[in-house]
Amino acid sequence: MTQKAKWKRKLILQGAASVFIRKGYNATTMQDIVEECGISRGGLYLYFDSTETIFYTLLMENSQSMELDFMHMMAESQSFREIMECFFDEQQAELFHAEQSMMTATYEFFLAHKSEQDKRFLQEQYDRSVTSLLRVLEYGVARNEVRFHDPEQIVRHIILSIEGIRIYTVSVGVSHNMIEGQIEMLKSLVMGFEHRFGMRGDSEC
């Protein structure tokens, strides 16, 4: 793929993400993306044949981005605590501003896609997240910064807990205090941080 083609593909994905955030998955059409990107319909179909394909690509690239961020920070010899702080801060920021993320569109997408292929894709994304985060915990252990009896189960607990907060945020709505408190609990589990929000009376939905 030429540099120009890579640039145009990136432009399409960025434009599509903006539309999905604004309209959700179900309401987004290829025409919406054409108008958002300012390209011809033929130009869009040269790269992607459906909103489904575009959304799959966005999900995969988001997963790859997290993995690359972890690898970059470990290559720079950042501390385990610094890496995990960055991870939790990013999760909290997205939860605080769920309306500016693809969170709602993602749940719409998977509610509408229940084939075995879709389930395999979702499982692969989950497994990839587990592998990426587990690599960070093993990095911390190797540097003698932390010790875990069962790091894989801790990673699965973190991912499933955050996923639960995401679902509740999208479906019901959660206060920033509640989100912050739950993220601090997860930090405490992984890094031994003192949970500063457990006794606060305003930590409610």
- List the domains of the chain with CATH numbers: 1-49 (1.10.10.60), 51-205 (1.10.357.10)
Judge whether 29 and 55 are in contact, CB under 8 Å: no
Whether the Cβ atoms of residue 109 and residue 25 lie closer than 8 Å to each other: yes
Residue 50 per-residue DSSP state = -
165 vs 162: CA distance, rounded Å: 5
Per-residue confidence (pLDDT) for residue 119, from 0 to 100: 87
Query: What is the per-residue pLDDT for 72?
Result: 97
Q: Low-confidence residues of the chain, pLDDT below 50?
A: 193-205
Residue 73 has a pLDDT of: 97
* DSSP type of residue 174: -
List CB contacts of 9: < 8 A, sequence separation 6 or more. 1, 47
The Cα 101–Cα 95 span in angstroms is: 9
